Structure 1
Amino acid sequence: MGEDLRRAGLPGGADTAGTQSGAEPLPAVTPKLVGIVWALLILNTLGSAGAETIIPLPRSLIQMVTMGALVAAFTLALAVNLRLRIRASAFVLLLTLLLVPSVISSVQLESGLGALFRCARLALFVGTLWLLSRWWDGSLTFVRHHIRMYFAVLASVAAGAVISPGTARPEIYGGRLVGALWPLTPPQIGQYAAVIIGLTVLLVLGRRTDRAGAAVIIVPSLILLALTHTRTATLGLLTGLALAIGSLVLTSAAARRFFTWAVLCTAVAAVGFAPALRAWFLRGQSQEHLTSLTGRAKVWDALLAAPRTTAEKSFGMGLGDKSFGGLPIDNSWLAVYHEQGWTGLTLVAAIIIVLGGVALLRPPSLPRACAIFLISYCAIASYTEAGLGDASPYLLHLAVAASLLAAPAAATPLATSEPPRRRVPRGARDGR
């Protein structure tokens, strides 16, 4: 699959030849190093809290690994972009502006010294994205990096389930799949599986990889997604794919065939497997529990009812662990409001609106469809998951979307030391 994905790139990938406007000749190893930087960013956003693992890992050790990965990513990105060549990006610019309310609220230390630490982490994260923006050219390069790394993460989850099934499906999580080698929660695993399933399906429809190679990615990921019982990830996958494939229907016969078969299969499944699907969706919970979004609504109501000063409403309480009263907020918009105030909320909304608007204005293409899938998935998941206001996998998904929507740099020929030859009339060459 990796070879297929490498072979499947669109024209205008990483500027290894130095032919794009304002670019210098890049070393041949740059694309591989950029992929390593992206893998380190993903490692940083895996988090340090989750289920118990087969070999107990101290949280301090996990935090050292994840933060070390971010420092290494920034250092390596700087090493391959020493001249600090960047591309204009509204997405990264808005993320940079998001640092302002984060720092203003965090210096009050209401959330402790950890808030300033998280600000420094966000600054390194955004700085690394600026350095990588040089290679954002509308190609599928970062889509392939994204799929490879998250598939490696899912492989570790599958390995943990094989080695210790009891640890991988603990009772405390209701038998849902967790990370037994690295502490990953069911929503995290479901998110990673849903994202790479959607992107790989789109690559198949765009004929950027073969079906056999794609099956190696899609089938195991679907199994892991089903074992996590993650409703948000499943809904995000189905809705995101529907929107992305819908954007290709008018220009792709393969997309039209897939869309037709998907509708038929969904109708058959809804009729023939309705009881099983309902049982999977409810996860043994009551209708009342489901209506309250498994208790999230109570936390949201308490957060909104809490008294706040004008400054706290404007800039928030400082970057924290996305919790309120000791309970997870599990909503990106309320988490941003709590930690970065109305200023942060406005900037995050601008990120989604700008990316979505640019995607709608682009002509139909595979990169545009992948971007639409990622943007819509993040928008849907933001209702029950936090992460849009801090360094997280969701910001990496949106960064991939931004790279897909970037306009390819204009190609210009490299300057040579040899002066251009002057055309000589044929008669003069013959001596006449």
Structure 2
Amino acid sequence: NRHGRCARFASPWNGKENILTRKKHFNFLVCESAAMRDYGFLEGAAAAAAGEGGAFQGRQRSAEAKPARDSVFAPSASSLSMDHLWGGQHESGDCGHPADSRPEWFDAHKFARAKEVFREHLFSFFFAHLVGLAMVVTKPSLLEPLASTGRSSNLPSLYRRYLSTLRHVKCWYEGDIWKANDAAAISIGKVRQMHRDVSAHLRNRRCPVTGGAYLSQLDMAVTQFAFIGLVVLYPRQLGLFVSERDLECVLHFWRCVGYKLGMADSYNLCAGSYRETLRVCLDMQEKLIKPGLVSASREGAAMSRDIINAVRVLVIFLSYEGMMAYWARQVGLQFNAALSLYDWWSYCLIWLTFNLLLRYRTFRNLFNWLLRVAIRRGTKWGSYLQKQLEVQELHSKGMNLGYAYRYH
């Protein structure tokens, strides 16, 4: 539009008529959160989180007004909230603590159980990471580091970047990030150093940022949301039919990952219990993620779309419109774009896979196997797939395909 904003996402309360309803008579975008509507245990968890500590509410209020020396009760040490996270935009994303020793809160049983959950539900976690990244790149402080490295300038480079990210995370799931010579520990050390290098590069530019920090603690928390936020908020819509205890273990694993990457515990999104993390993720979704999607710049919207398009060579049924129509329904947004027949097919297949097929172990094992095959294929045939993406990008820009095939 004339303000340079992406108009594909809109608030459900803006009074605009949905293009899908007008043109195709398919109202995919029911403006309510299906996760909180369909699954009562999450709703109950959110309510319990909001009222946590209610039995001692009066006592705590009096303690805050006038501290009682003889009281055995104290406010919870975990006071993580979105208001607190906003303060992290002024602090470096790497607090500098050594990552070669395990913190005192480390729980080996939870860590091991989380890896079992990942192994059983690899396909679901892959899609949670993919969609989460496509959502958070609309935030300018995350978009700028991605653009500055030159590794996200086109579809082939985005493909290489996301495949590298996927292989790093898969390595963390399957290895031991605490064992010095393990491939997972080496991988996470490389990622931490890469973050430091990008931050230093941005600080040394001619016009450095004022009043904030590049790759700040807030940015790290938002990136953590990209990988784990949808798992916390919408496990069933991802085909994750697991217990709350298993989700606690998953959060513990990502708390460890955050620690190894230099996150301060006070800004670690996974430092609290499942219910506390659920409350913070809901707050972040409403105050940062959804507004970022609605008011995304042209560059942010293009990056979000290109991330999905770059992965289509690995997972052929993916469609940006189909996938975002599905997730817009979950988070409570309208997706103001008409779906083509292919997009409609992609939407239906995504819904069928996550809501029905992944309930059954046989299909989970099948999709996990297909994903592993796709990763090996993406590594082995990387050059060929990148050429296909170059052709796709040229075609989208209106160039002659004969020229594209001749010179690529």
* TM-score band, normalised by shorter chain: under 0.3
Normalising by the residue count of structure 1, what TM-score does the alignment of the two structures yield?
A: 0.26
Q: Which has the higher contact order (CA 8 A, sep 6+)?
A: 2
Normalising by the residue count of structure 2, what TM-score does the alignment of the two structures yield?
A: 0.27
Specify the structure having the higher radius of gyration (Cα): 1
